[in-house]
Amino acid sequence: MGCDGGTIPKRHELVKGPKKVEKVDKDAELVAQWNYCTLSQEILRRPIVACELGRLYNKDAVIEFLLDKSSEKALGKAASHIKSIKNVTELRLSDNPAWEGDKGNTKGDKHDDLQRARFICPVVGLEMNGRHRFCFLRCCGCVFSERALKEIKAEVCHTCGAAFQEDDVIVLNGTKEDVEVLKSRMEERRLRAKLGKKTKKPKAAESVSKSDVSEETPGPSKMKTGKPEETSLDTREKKTNSAPKSTAHGIASGKAAKRSIADSEESEAYKSLFTTHSSAKRSKEESAHWVTHTSYCF
């Protein structure tokens, strides 16, 4: 049984009781939420983005997660609702002038103040360390404390002046109830976007079909005395087909006219006006060289 050497066991060493629930240190949890990326567990560095549930990420980590689809990571569940880079918003954060970071702690013998934060609210000046509720606007990405939005009520952003609605306000690192509310809003927003895309497709098809119909059917300006445009096209084709016939007929009639003038019973003076008359013809000796000879150069 053991216990050699005169050792006396106690009851809690022999009897196993119920396991105690491990308590999570609140300060450590706040530091992890507000200073580290939810996806890669690395220190937050700009550019910093936030999802529609209010969680903070490094933008590089989100892009790597979206590109590396084959990897099955345990931390990927925290970003399973992120389908594209459009589902996150880049944050506009205001630096805290009192935060020094690791500059003054070069030797490692200085106490790190966990209450000191890197960023602050640009309106009230509260530090973004988890002790105060912060939110951001999905339309522009500006970050404020919830106290600033409650005290200064406006429908326009305090820094950039962009208009926003209540649906655009997203709480950063909120409670479970806040996450459930934000999740329901996110699902409703995505359903509306899908329905909008479906309604746009039939409208685009209808507009294309209408344009085709308008091209096929002539308008009132193209109509001439109640006759369709096809009749005008047919008449044009008939004219083009009849044009060569008329020209050929004219050439033949010209030749016949020349012959008829030579053989006609007109006076010799009238016949001498034409090149077909015997007086207009010359002998080979009188005629010029064949290269420059024309019957009209007399």
**Highest mean pLDDT, choosing among 15-29, 120-134, 261-275:** 120-134
Please tell me the pTM assigned to this model.
0.59
User: What type of residue is 2?
Assistant: G
- Residue 12: helix, strand or coil by DSSP? helix
Provide the percentage of residues in the chain whose pLDDT is more than 90. 26
120 vs 128: CA distance, rounded Å:
5
Check residue 60 and give its pLDDT.
93
User: Which CB contacts under 8 angstroms, 24+ apart, belong to 22-29?
Assistant: 27/114
Check residue 236 and give its pLDDT.
56
Average pLDDT over residues 208-225: 53
Give me 24's structure tokens: 């999570």
pLDDT at residue 87 is higher than 80? yes
240-284: pLDDT as tens digits: 554 444 444 554 455 444 455 556 667 777 777 776 666 666 665
Check residue 243 and give its pLDDT.
47
Q: Which of 42-51, 112-121, 170-179 has the lowest mean pLDDT?
A: 112-121
271 vs 262: CA distance, rounded Å:
7
CA-derived radius of gyration, the chain: 47
pLDDT at residue 223 is higher than 80? no
With beta carbons less than 8 A apart as the criterion, state whether 289 and 297 touch.
Answer: no
Higher pLDDT: 113 or 82? It is 82
Check residue 248 and give its pLDDT.
47
DSSP-assigned states of every residue in 184-221: HHHHHHHHHHHHHHHHHHHHHHHHHHHHHHHHHS--TT
Check residue 182 and give its pLDDT.
93
